[in-house]
């Protein structure tokens, strides 16, 4: 396993992280024994970052991850996410504290290494729709995190970079967060590359470059486009059957269609399959710290690590990608 800088976090993070989300489903709907075997194998392979959230499986992901880590006596770096969907919009501080306290209980931990905002950045506060403004984040939300940090319950702050792109940039530029999660894949590469005129997906405005300048670690999410970039329409039994697009096209069918335009990466031998091409594409950007993959079984885990070990995609392959991206316009 190779390791990379994680912004100002005092950790050399594994290039592949362990995603515990709903999409892959292993840590939400998998069998307990399978969960233990997968986490144990991840540790053997050198993975040192595990990512979950209060909303994954209604808290089941946190509960299962906490149980497995305790069973394995594993000391790893854990990131989770808080959501303000149940809080009073005038008391965001209390909402943050309540959400994090509940996560600590489910995880069975005294401290969360990396606590990340899971709500989207918007122009207007609407916690019922999981939307907060930049001002919300830098005032009430931060007040809650600061209180938790003073009590030794959280260490580093992060955010999931979804919502209004300029607002995401503002939070990253503020210096509040140590990490940012961003959509970055072959279909929507705007977090790391210039977008063509008329680009018809969320434009993250080379967020990875900004994060690098601010010494903020970058966690890549949706590297497989929620399954669109797997090269198959068959979904694993523990994976979610239908996935809403995040940071991509208007629907999953459009994402699958666009994914087909990258078939040359496999057909011409740049990668063995589309998942490999996708993981190696993300890791071709030196500003990326780690790539989160949502696993359904141990095979997915082992293959992801094998892909990363092959290194970045060939320069020739990378040079041909802008020609495909130029067609993703209105």
With cut-offs at 50, 70 and 90, classify the pLDDT of residue 89.
low
Please state which CATH number belongs to domain 3-325.
3.20.20.100
State the DSSP string of 52-107. --TTGGGGHHHHHHHHHHHHHT---EEEEEE--TTS-TT-HHHHHHHHHHHHHHHH
| Summary count for the chain: helices (H), strands (E) | 13, 12
Question: Mean per-residue pLDDT for 9-13?
Answer: 96
Whether the Cβ atoms of residue 262 and residue 186 lie closer than 8 Å to each other:
yes
Enter the tokens of residue 198. 């008329």
With cut-offs at 50, 70 and 90, classify the pLDDT of residue 232.
confident
Q: Answer yes or no: is pLDDT of 328 > 70.
A: yes
Within a 10 A sphere around the Cβ of 91, how many other Cβ atoms? 15
Kindly list the domain boundaries of the chain, sorted by start residue.
Answer: 3-325
pTM, full prediction: 0.95
Question: Mean per-residue pLDDT for 88-117?
Answer: 91
pLDDT at position 91 is: 84
pLDDT at position 249 is: 81
* 252-296 per-position pLDDT tens digit: 889 999 999 999 999 999 999 999 999 999 999 999 999 998 888
Instruction: Report d(CA 298, CA 217) in Å as an integer.
Output: 27
- For the ranges 22-26, 29-33, 236-240, 247-251, the maximum mean pLDDT occurs at 29-33
Helix 32-45 crosses helix 298-309 at what angle (to 10 degrees)? 20
- Write down the mean pLDDT value for the chain: 93
Tell me what percent of the chain is helix, strand and coil, each rounded to the nearest 5. Answer: 40, 15, 40
pLDDT at position 247 is: 78
């Amino acid at each position: 396993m190779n390791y990379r800088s994680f912004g100002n976090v005092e950790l050399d993070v594994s290039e592949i992280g362990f995603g515990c989300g709903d999409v892959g489903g292993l840590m939400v709907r998998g069998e307990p024994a399978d969960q233990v075997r997968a986490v144990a194998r991840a540790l053997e392979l050198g993975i040192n970052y595990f990512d979950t959230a209060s909303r994954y499986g209604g808290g089941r992901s946190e509960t299962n991850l906490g149980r497995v880590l305790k069973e394995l006596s594993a000391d790893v770096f854990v990131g989770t996410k808080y959501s303000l969907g149940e809080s009073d919009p005038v008391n965001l501080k209390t909402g943050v504290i309540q959400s994090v306290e509940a996560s600590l209980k489910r995880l069975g931990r005294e401290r969360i290494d990396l606590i990340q905002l899971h709500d989207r950045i918007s122009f207007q506060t609407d916690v019922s729709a999981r939307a907060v403004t930049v001002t919300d984040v830098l005032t009430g939300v931060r007040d809650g995190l600061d209180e938790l940090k003073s009590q030794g319950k959280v260490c580093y702050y992060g955010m999931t970079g979804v919502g209004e792109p300029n607002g995401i940039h503002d939070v990253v530029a503020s210096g509040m967060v140590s990490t940012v999660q961003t959509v970055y894949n072959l279909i929507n590469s705007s977090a790391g590359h210039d977008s063509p005129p008329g680009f018809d997906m969320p434009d993250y405005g080379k967020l990875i470059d900004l994060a690098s300048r601010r010494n903020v670690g970058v966690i890549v999410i949706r590297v497989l486009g929620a399954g669109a970039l797997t090269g198959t329409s068959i979904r694993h039994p523990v994976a979610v059957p239908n996935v809403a697009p995040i940071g991509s096209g208007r629907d999953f069918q459009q994402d699958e269609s666009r994914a087909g335009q990258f078939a040359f990466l496999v057909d011409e031998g740049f990668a063995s399959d589309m998942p490999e091409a996708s993981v190696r594409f993300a890791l071709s950007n030196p500003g990326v710290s780690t790539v989160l993959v949502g696993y359904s079984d141990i095979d997915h885990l082992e293959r992801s690590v094998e892909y990363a070990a092959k290194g970045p995609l060939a320069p020739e392959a990378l040079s041909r990608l802008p020609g495909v991206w130029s067609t993703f316009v209105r």
